[in-house]
Structures are given as C-alpha cells and as structure tokens.
Amino acid sequence: MVAKRIIPCLDVKDGRTVKGVNFIGLQDVGDAVELGRRYAMQGADELVYLDISATIEGRNTFTSLVERISSNINIPFTVGGGISTIDDAARLLDAGADKVSINSAAVNNPSLIDSIASKYGSQFVVLAIDTKRVGNEWLITTHGGRTLTERELFSWAREGEERGAGEILLTSMDHDGTRNGYPCELFRELSRHLSIPIIASGGAGSVDDIAKVFSEGGADAALAASIFHYGEITVMELKRRLHDKGIKVRI
C-alpha cells in the first residue's frame, strides 16, 4: 500500500503567508520560506503554495519566492494561483517548482492541461477542482467558488486525467472552511472514476477528519492549513496519530 501524504498549504500574498476565510480578513502567519522549512523538518511529504494576489506584480514577487523556496526546502512543492498560460507555468517550473496547480484557467481553456503536460510531463500538472452540490449533481465552480458553471465534476475530472493531469486536488465548497470534515462519499465516488491520485482539501478540523478521508474517502493525500499555521498540531504528531489508527504514512 502506498503511504498517504500530508501536505501543508500556504496562501501567499506579497511573499508572506496569510490566512483568512475566502481570502477575507487575512492575517499574516509568517514568512513563507521559513514556515515551509519548518513543515519540511516536521515531516511534511510535500507543500502547496498558492499566490492569492495573482496580479502581474504578485506573479513577479511569487517567481522570486519560488526561487527562494527551491533553494531552502528539500521536499517537493506545488505552486498555483494566476497560472493561465503555458508561459506562466514555465516561469514557475523553471524557477524550481516541482508542480503547478491550475484551476479556473483550465476550465476556461482545457487545452492548457495538454500544453503543460506535453512540455513538462503529467507529473508536473495538478488539476485543482472546486465543486458545489446543486440538487443531485456536483458542479464545477471557478474564481474561488464564486462562479458556478454547468460542468459536472466527474466528467471534468476524467477529462482532466485524459488531457494529462497527474493529480486532482478536490475541494467541496460546501465543506471548505467549516472544519466539520470532508464529504468522504464524494471522494470515494471520484476515486472510482480516476486512476490518478486525489488530494483532499477543505473541511479538516481534526485528526479523525483526515483519517476518515483516507480510510473512507480513498484520498491519496490531505491538504491542511489552519491546524498547522496556528500550532494546533505538528505534521509529525498528526502522522503518528494517523499511524496509530492503522493508516500508512511516512514517519
């Protein structure tokens, strides 16, 4: 059995790690490189950095940050936010990122997945999907969950895999920020449709929540932010408690 991955997520604005709710009421929680280094030392398997500024100036700042991260951190890291062209992805990958995460731009231009995968390989492409339940369907949203589309989750995820995405990063907008746990049945159903790894995001409020999305939801990795940023638990403590529950993790 492949070990489950624990991935701290760092939202970045002007080179600093921030945390808020839907990018509102942002609080500075530390230097992005130093926090990443701390999580790496605690045993994080990977990191995700999201540029929430996503302006031209922010992207330039972010490129310099990626170079610093690459020089200081020895675990794989993914970067996302404002990536809408192959040139955006190339700039960040060439700066040292191990993977790029694309979301709204891929919904608007699905061939972006093909372009990045063709140039760099599927292992460099993470397709982030924000979904919302409408009636009996799970529909895709864009722009941080603010815009509802008519695209259906499972067909879009399959298309993403066929176009070359190496992983799916899935967030249920109905659960994001609630800290009431993940919709495990949704992750389980998605895993039946795909052969590529699935990263669970949004809803984690406890060790049990993360354990359930692994054991009941079939997720391959779990993304978390607040529980690490505010010192509620360290990465290694989380891993040890997951191990005690019979979940295979790297310790």
> What are the residue numbers of the active site?
11, 130
Q: How far apart are CA 69 and CA 105, in angstroms?
A: 25
Strand 24-31 relative to strand 16-21, pairing: antiparallel
For 62-68, which contacts have Cβ atoms below 8 Å and span 24 or more sequence positions? 62/12, 62/15, 62/92, 63/91, 63/92, 63/95, 64/15, 65/12, 65/15, 65/32, 65/33, 66/92, 66/95, 66/96, 66/97, 67/95, 67/96, 68/33
Give 183-223 as a DSSP string. Answer: -HHHHHHHHHH-SS-EEEES---SHHHHHHHHHTT--SEEE
Reading the block at residue 236, the tokens are 């290694």
**Best CA proximity match to 228, nearest among 216, 236, 220:** 236
Query: Using an 8 Å Cβ cutoff, are 70 and 97 in contact?
Result: yes
